[in-house]
Structure 1
């Protein structure tokens, strides 16, 4: 344990001690320090440089059957004493809630001992010059493609690094420390189109480890190619078409599905998946494990926000719904066991082909490369999202599409999943591959 981490842990312990002395029967104290640095460029000029550091104390207080959550960034000893005293007094004025409680101490045990490698010490050595150089190289990559260079109107790039340190303690026996590093690159490219249209697209890469961050040239080039492929986009006729959803954009749709798995939606009957544990809700290819123990995983953690030890578990198993995201509060309200209210890494099975193979197998249909706006009703499962992408005929790219909507219901849509790619998306905790579906409803011209 570093001296810095020990200092955070001592501050969390002290906050808990004061709250107990002021009359709280249960306390969860979290001290979080976060440092971020970034450089943003636009068209070869530095547009913004940011440096920020935050330090906060958060307290979950359980007082006479009542509960409150409180946060302060003023950690001077006298200010903390006043903050905690006022927070405990305020909690006493709230309505009782018998379902509010700290997590079962048994759930703190068996925390994974393996180093998840969430911290790269290189984040401490990165200089402002390195961030500026990386942002510059991303732009150079975007402008390096001869077939696209003359179309480019604007290039925005960024490089950022961050260090997050967290210490958590509870009054019923949990203590934990976690440190995370992050390195990120991004590019947004705008190109020239007919009729004064200015299609734009971006690309993004992130990593816990500096040495495993994608090259800046790759990030810039991918953004430029994606923007150029949107030139001349137009809607196709309304109809049912097979489609492939590219891994990079699939999270928009998947977030809508996962929101129906959350404890609040289940308990308040705002989820179309309520009551469906053990039932088939999708294709056998809908097989997803929530694994918070992936080495260097962007969603990896040894304990969740309540302090409970994390563990891998199936969410969907061969199309059958297996579990919800239930913290202690919603589990008690539903009279069942807590699973954890936090997502880890969503790990999908790999298919046998890459994106090109999925498109060849699709034949004629739509490759979706971006979702725009839209909405999803977690109570009914109905959704409608604007889409951008490419029209394919017999496996060959014909041209870009836009101004179209994909509309369906999750309970029927996921039964049409027919093939997975072998390309899990590396820049998210949701490690989904590209997904191929049988004919679904699109509205266009």
Structure 2
């Protein structure tokens, strides 16, 4: 890895040097190499084995604020030189954009931290297949209602990313990601239901066991049997931890710099404004060791720092790329490429406690469709889950729709559970919202 790291850094530096000789004002180069193995089994048979080794170099040049970009998978000196020249030629034909360019030097990370993100697997293909078969075998033999499998997948990948620009930044870091997932089909009389479970981590040793994934997939699948519709009404809605991440995913989209400067968000001009209950806290921690979304710097080389996103219900920051900072006349927040390990503070109740707190209402475990208008905040999604009565699960529910507006939903959050889903880069427990419209039978 050290030798490859040096080779790729040299290739990026070569591109920067060539651009400088051609008189380019500003240049940035991103190079990624990814390798790994994916295997799939179904009903004890191997369905797919895939090896991949890919990557490429992307070069962007800025000439008098005119941008040109080109890419290549060939890292020979001749190919790099040719790609830089193509980017330069393109820049000569593009329109001037006063917001185009590199980050200011004072925003760049000068001392990147080692976050222990690289843990390549020592497992060969046979071992990965054995893990998949073990998981599926446990699942298929644990409950007679599990009548079929839609397959088990094991993925193990590593990557090396190098980024450099003409403002003096040139760094790289390696990372890895491994996962195991299982999809099952259950049957009861003439009814069939499908569900799944998974585990994901930087280090193969940190994955949940094959038995945990199998047992969780079985539990989720059979619990859906006997699902029915419910009548149209208004009621409290509890989003399970697994789907609650989606609510904050909408927050991420709504406060992204692109949405703000395009004025295409329901949270326009809400910085330093209360948008959640006054007890809500959401923090970001980019430098967690082995973190799923940890990063020593963002994809433009910007510093990533611990920060509060929501403090006492008040929005503290937008999520800005370099381009957005210039559009909005603000400073980079290090979010080119996405967020970095968000944590939603819980209010002290576990899932059973949230059921009791809700009393009667709808527990959502699956979301379907994309019915969210990010300009108005209007929210309408197909859902499945469970009806709760007197603080306990009464029966499974399917084929219903919930609706509301994200502004009202955010302010209507009454509790956040301690049942945090550790697999997500956005860590939250289940979220209880005081009321939503439920369209059923």
Please, what TM-score do these two structures have when normalized by structure 2? 0.96
- Structure 1 residue 387: Cα displacement: 0.7
Kept after mapping to 2: 8 A contact 1:292/1:345:
yes
Kept after mapping to 1: 8 A contact 2:156/2:178:
yes
Q: Which residue of 1 aligns with 2:6?
A: 6
Distance in 1, matches of 2:400 and 2:426, equals 26
Distance in 1, matches of 2:279 and 2:178, equals 33
Q: Which residues of structure 2 form unaligned runs of 5+?
A: none
Which one of 325, 330, 334 corresponds to residue 336 of structure 1?
A: 330
Distance in 1, matches of 2:136 and 2:14, equals 48
- Structure 1 residue 110: Cα displacement: 5.3
Kept after mapping to 1: 8 A contact 2:184/2:194:
yes
Kept after mapping to 2: 8 A contact 1:139/1:155:
no
Distance in 1, matches of 2:31 and 2:258, equals 26
Distance in 2, matches of 1:103 and 1:362, equals 48
Kept after mapping to 1: 8 A contact 2:185/2:195:
yes
Kept after mapping to 2: 8 A contact 1:194/1:232:
no
- Structure 1 residue 227: Cα displacement: 1.0
Which one of 128, 134, 137 corresponds to residue 134 of structure 2?
A: 137
Q: Which residue of 2 aligns with 1:217?
A: 211
- DSSP-derived class of the 2:116 partner: coil
Distance in 2, matches of 1:437 and 1:55, equals 43
Q: Which residue of 2 aligns with 1:127?
A: 124
Distance in 2, matches of 1:60 and 1:43, equals 48
2:251 counterpart of 1:257: yes
Q: Which residue of 1 aligns with 2:400?
A: 404
Kept after mapping to 1: 8 A contact 2:303/2:334:
no
Distance in 1, matches of 2:111 and 2:278, equals 32
- Structure 1 residue 254: Cα displacement: 2.6
Kept after mapping to 1: 8 A contact 2:69/2:90:
no
Deviates more, 1:346-355 or 1:424-433: 346-355
- Structure 1 residue 107: Cα displacement: 1.3
Kept after mapping to 2: 8 A contact 1:202/1:227:
yes
- Structure 1 residue 112: Cα displacement: 4.8
Q: Which residue of 1 aligns with 2:149?
A: 154
Aligned length: 439
Kept after mapping to 1: 8 A contact 2:282/2:343:
yes
- Structure 1 residue 153: Cα displacement: 2.3
- DSSP-derived class of the 1:412 partner: helix
- DSSP-derived class of the 1:306 partner: coil
Distance in 1, matches of 2:279 and 2:111, equals 31
Q: Which residue of 1 aligns with 2:313?
A: 319
2:403 counterpart of 1:393: no
Q: Which residue of 1 aligns with 2:412?
A: 416
Q: Which residue of 2 aligns with 1:368?
A: 364
Q: Which residue of 1 aligns with 2:342?
A: 346
Q: Which residue of 1 aligns with 2:60?
A: 60
1:88-124: CA deviations, max 9, x gaps? 11111100011112111111245453x3111124x2x
- DSSP-derived class of the 2:301 partner: coil
Q: Which residues of structure 1 form unaligned runs of 5+?
A: none
Distance in 2, matches of 1:259 and 1:378, equals 8
Kept after mapping to 2: 8 A contact 1:285/1:419:
no
Matches within 5 A, 1:28-427: 28-109=28-109, 111-113=111-113, 115-121=114-120, 123=121, 125-145=122-142, 148-195=143-190, 197-341=191-335, 342-427=338-423
CA gap of 1:165–1:109, structure 2 versus 1, over 3 A, is closer
CA gap of 1:149–1:285, structure 2 versus 1, over 3 A, is farther
- Structure 1 residue 285: Cα displacement: 4.1
Please, what TM-score do these two structures have when normalized by structure 1? 0.95
Kept after mapping to 1: 8 A contact 2:140/2:148:
no
- Structure 1 residue 194: Cα displacement: 4.4
Distance in 2, matches of 1:164 and 1:284, equals 41
Distance in 2, matches of 1:442 and 1:65, equals 51
CA gap of 1:82–1:112, structure 2 versus 1, over 3 A, is closer
- DSSP-derived class of the 1:243 partner: strand
Kept after mapping to 2: 8 A contact 1:237/1:444:
yes
Kept after mapping to 1: 8 A contact 2:282/2:342:
yes
Distance in 2, matches of 1:319 and 1:170, equals 38
Distance in 1, matches of 2:251 and 2:45, equals 41
Distance in 2, matches of 1:37 and 1:85, equals 35
- Structure 1 residue 248: Cα displacement: 1.2
